[in-house]
A and B are shown apart, each in its own frame.
Chain A
Amino acid sequence: GAVVSQHPSRVICKSGTSVKIECRSLDFQATTMFWYRQFPKQSLMLMATSNEGSKATYEQGVEKDKFLINHASLTLSTLTVTSAHPEDSSFYICSAPGQGAAGYTFGSGTRLTVV
């Protein structure tokens, strides 16, 4: 079945540094990728929608200069957390529509810890 490979699964970084998270669609083309953030004991909150070849659409309250999204190819979308701070520590999950069960394929998530 359709698979979205998300890397890294875990990352610890120092405050002020940047971290890149990759989501790669395997065996299918993902023209759209949804990026979610999930704080402990909370639900998945949509951060932004990336579209191949165009600018990402950010949800209200999400800083586009802080969370840089690039969707340069039909199989790769990346989220870069710039100048990370401890409050950015969270679980980040990507999802590609159009494939998989119920029409959505999720990545396995990235646990970001900023120290």
Chain B
Amino acid sequence: GESVGLHLPTLSVQEGDNSIINCAYSNSASDYFIWYKQESGKGPQFIIDIRSNMDKRQGQRVTVLLNKTVKHLSLQIAATQPGDSAVYFCAENTRGSARQLTFGSGTQLTVLP
């Protein structure tokens, strides 16, 4: 079946640097995308979302970019902090899928002091 998120499993960045986490999706019918942060032993925590009619959305210290041409999604974290260390997942919702989310494989972000 189709899947989301076949990119790097780990990313290490220096504190204060910017982080870029990537995600690929293969279902062209997906029209809504969400980035989640998950800390060990906890449920996913919403970070930012974007609809398919947009290509960029900004939040506080985070930006999501959507490139529908190549079916690529990225999460940019500015001035990465130790508290940003976690696993980050992209998730997609496909039109007509009863609101089910399909999660990508995830990226472990480690912030180095």
Taking beta carbons and an 8 Å cutoff, which residues of B are in contact with A?
Answer: 5, 9, 34, 41-44, 46, 49, 89, 98-106
Write out, one digit per residue, whether chain A residues 33-44 have a CB within 8 A of any chain B CB (1) or not (0). Answer: 010100001111
Query: Are A109 and B41 within 8 A (Cβ)?
Result: yes
User: A32 on the interface (CB 8 Å rule)?
Assistant: yes
Query: A91 to B101, alpha carbons, bound, how many Å?
Result: 17
- B99:A97 contact, CB within 8 angstroms: yes
- What are 15 residue pairs bridging A and B, where the CB atoms are less than 8 Å apart in the complex? A32-B98, A34-B100, A42-B105, A42-B106, A43-B5, A43-B106, A45-B103, A93-B44, A95-B101, A101-B46, A104-B34, A104-B101, A108-B42, A108-B43, A109-B42
- Answer whether residue A49 sits at the interface, using C-beta atoms and an 8 A cutoff: yes
Quick one: closest B residue to A109, CB to CB? Answer: B43
A53 within 8 A of B: no
Q: Contacts A97-B99, A100-B46, A102-B34 given; indicate if A43 touches B105 (C-beta within 8 A).
A: yes
Roughly how many angstroms separate A43 CA and B44 CA in the complex, as a whole number? Answer: 11
Q: What number of residue pairs across chains A and B have CB atoms under 8 A from each other?
A: 49
Inter-chain contact A43/B101, CB cutoff 8 Å: no
- 8 smallest CB-CB distances across A and B, nearest first, come from A101-B46, A106-B43, A97-B99, A44-B103, A102-B49, A43-B103, A102-B34, A109-B43
A106–B105 Cα gap in the complex (Å)?
18
A6 — which chain B residues lie within 8 A by C-beta?
43
CA distance A43 to B36 in the complex (A): 11
The complex places the Cα of A107 from the Cα of B43 at a distance, in Å, of 6
Interface of B is mostly: loop
Contact with B along A82-115 (1 / 0, CB 8 A): 0000000001010101101111101111010000
Report chain B residues within 8 Å CB of A108. 42-43
Query: Once bound together, how far apart are the Cα atoms of A42 and B38, in whole Å?
Result: 12
- How far is A98 from B89 in the complex, measured between Cα atoms in Å? 20
- In the complex, A32 Cα to B101 Cα: how many Å? 13
* Smallest CB separation, B90 vs chain A (Å): 10
Q: A43 CB to closest chain B CB, in angstroms? A: 5
Q: B101–A34 contact, CB under 8 A?
A: yes
**Given pairs A6-B43, A44-B103, A104-B34, 13 additional interface contacts (CB within 8 A):** A32-B98, A34-B100, A34-B101, A44-B89, A46-B102, A49-B98, A95-B101, A97-B99, A102-B34, A102-B49, A104-B46, A104-B101, A107-B43
